[in-house]
Amino acid sequence: MKIQIPNSLAVAIIFLVCGLVLGAFGYGVWVSQDVATAPKVAELKEAIKIIKADLLDEVPWWYVPTKETSMVGRYDPQAVYPGLTLIATVEADDEIAVKVVDFDGTVLQQWDPDWQAMWGDATHIPPDRIPKQKLAAIVHGVVLMPNNDIVFNFDGLGMMRLNACSEVVWRLPELTHHSMVQDSDGNLWASSHIYEEEPIERFPHLKTPRTVSSILKVSPEGKVLDELRILDLLDDNGYRAYLFMGSVKPSPVVGQQGDILHLNDVEIFPADMEPGLFETGDILVSLRNINSIFVADAAFEKIKYWLTGDFVRHHDPDFIDGNHISLYDNNNGGKADSSRIITIDARTDEISVRYPRNDGDRFFSRIAGKHQRLPSGNVLITESTAARAIEIAPNDAIVWEYRNIVAPGLLGMMQEAARLPAEVTAESLATSRKTCNGS
């Protein structure tokens, strides 16, 4: 049984332990004259975090206390858009899962990605980013392939394809992260990072080592077909100022380090969508840390549209048609902790709110979050940090609500939820499992 320590005493113990650990660490570095300290600093931070959480009996940030007891809340079978739902979640005991569920919450298919077991030998990751804990990375970005394999990102660590029996088909050793989308040709697009240790003459203000935002186009077989660099595109199109948005103090040479843009989504204008200002192959990009989105041409040479608008630390922009974009505005730092789904008219930059349009319908995800506009006019919203998915009818009524309850009184973070096409059924999933295990 765990002893409950008063918070005041716990804080005092934390300071004492951290002081001893820091002192020992500093002495060790001084004695060894070891200058390659980044991995050690990362380990030290992780150790302090674990000590603090254990003493205060805190749950990790990917869990949320709840009084709810039912996985499925509201459900109107006549109003939902038909189909199964693909979800990516954190489960009990720091496990992660990708699941296909029906409207009753029954799990019809589950994949169990395990970083340590499936990619513990990775050598493509910078030393300070090598996972040290059981929950190495959440699944951030997942696509169900036509044969019911999944392709997903271990967030910030790499891309992987699993068959229906959670067996590894291929691994892509790139620093992929956040969302993933499949284009009309079947290729996969994802956000990625390029890790660089050498200075770039073109961008002398970027300190090293650094991670540079890029977009990867990947074949279904796991081969990189193209890599598009965000920095170069912005500089070539007259948006150089946005590379200095993180400046914090005046200096003869302004230095930038870290994730200055935070690329968190890329979307491709589909071949079957009615064109307008945007057309087939155009690339829609989301840059969270500068509260901006833009659309580039298919060659990734010209920026056709740019908006730094009335949205804060947003996610998941999607093309609605050739002139309109839908966006998940996290509104982190806005009024009353209320996120929004908004519509942008790219011809005028006018923004309208799709949901919520009433104060009583608020939802909020301080980070992450996805949304999917369905053919019926419904919208499926992933309230990630609340571990909930809701389907909204055109009149704003919640017609389906799913909570990721992982233990009594505890929810596990839900990275995304997506309604699947009609051809994905319990029977087709079962057939795929038989194929992959040879039975």
Conformation bin of residue 336: beta by default, left when phi > 0, alpha when psi is -120 to 50: left
Q: What is the DSSP letter of 233?
A: H
Indicate the average pLDDT of the chain.
Answer: 86
CA gap 134, 394 in Å, rounded = 41
| pLDDT tens, position by position, 8-61 | 545 454 555 455 545 544 544 444 444 344 444 544 454 445 444 444 457 899
Q: Supply 416's token pair.
A: 């995304």
d(CA 297, CA 282): 5
C-alpha distances out from residue 74 to 8, 297, 392, 399, 401, Å: 42, 42, 11, 6, 5
229: CB partners within 8 A, 6+ apart: 194, 212, 213, 214
Enumerate residues 6+ apart whose C-beta is below 8 A from 213. 191, 192, 193, 194, 229, 230, 231, 259, 261, 262, 263, 287
Largest interatomic CA distance in the chain: 71
CA 46 – CA 115 distance, rounded (Å):
18
Sketch the domain layout of the chain as residue ranges: 7-55, 63-436
Cβ neighbours around 52 below 10 Å, total: 16
Instruction: With beta carbons less than 8 A apart as the criterion, state whether 388 and 414 touch.
Output: yes
Of 31, 241, 46, which is closest to residue 132 (Cα–Cα)? Answer: 46
- Residue 409, by phi and psi: left (phi above 0), alpha (psi -120 to 50) or beta? left
Which structure tokens are listed for 91? 């489960």
What is the rounded distance in angstroms from the CA atom of residue 202 to the CA atom of residue 38?
A: 26
- Per-residue model confidence as pLDDT tens digits over 180-197: 999 999 999 999 998 887
| pLDDT score of 278 more than 70 | yes
Please state the length of the chain.
Answer: 439
Angstrom distance (rounded) from CA 89 to CA 36: 35
- Determine the pLDDT at residue 372: 98
- As a whole number of angstroms, the distance between CA 125 and CA 141 comes to 19
Matching residue, tokens 């919520």: 356
Give the pLDDT band of residue 361 (cuts 50, 70, 90): confident
Report the C-alpha gap between 6 and 16 in whole angstroms: 15
Element holding 415 (H helix, E strand): strand 414-419
Whether the per-residue pLDDT at 268 is higher than 90: the answer is yes
Tell me which of 8-12, 118-122, 147-151 is least confident: 8-12
pLDDT reading at 103 higher than 90: yes
Q: Distances in Å between the alpha carbon of 137 and those of 141, 200, 415?
A: 12, 30, 12
**Does 254 have pLDDT greater than 60?**
no
N-term to C-term CA, the chain: 45
- Give the pLDDT confidence score for residue 41 in this predicted structure: 52
pLDDT computed for residue 255 by the predictor: 54
pLDDT recorded at residue 55: 44
- Mean pLDDT, rounded, for 402-422: 97
Tokens 């990790």 locate to 60
Whole-number percent of the chain with pLDDT over 90: 70
Q: What is the model's pLDDT at position 29?
A: 43
Cβ density class 69-89: b for 16+ within 10 Å, e for less: eeebeebeeebbbebbbbbbb
If pLDDT is split at 50, 70 and 90, which confidence band does 208 have? Answer: confident
The tens digit of pLDDT for each residue in 212-248 reads 899 999 999 999 999 999 999 999 999 998 988 764 4
**Annotation: CATH topology of 63-436:** Neuraminidase (2.120.10)
Q: How many CA atoms lie within 13 A of 313 on its CB side?
A: 14
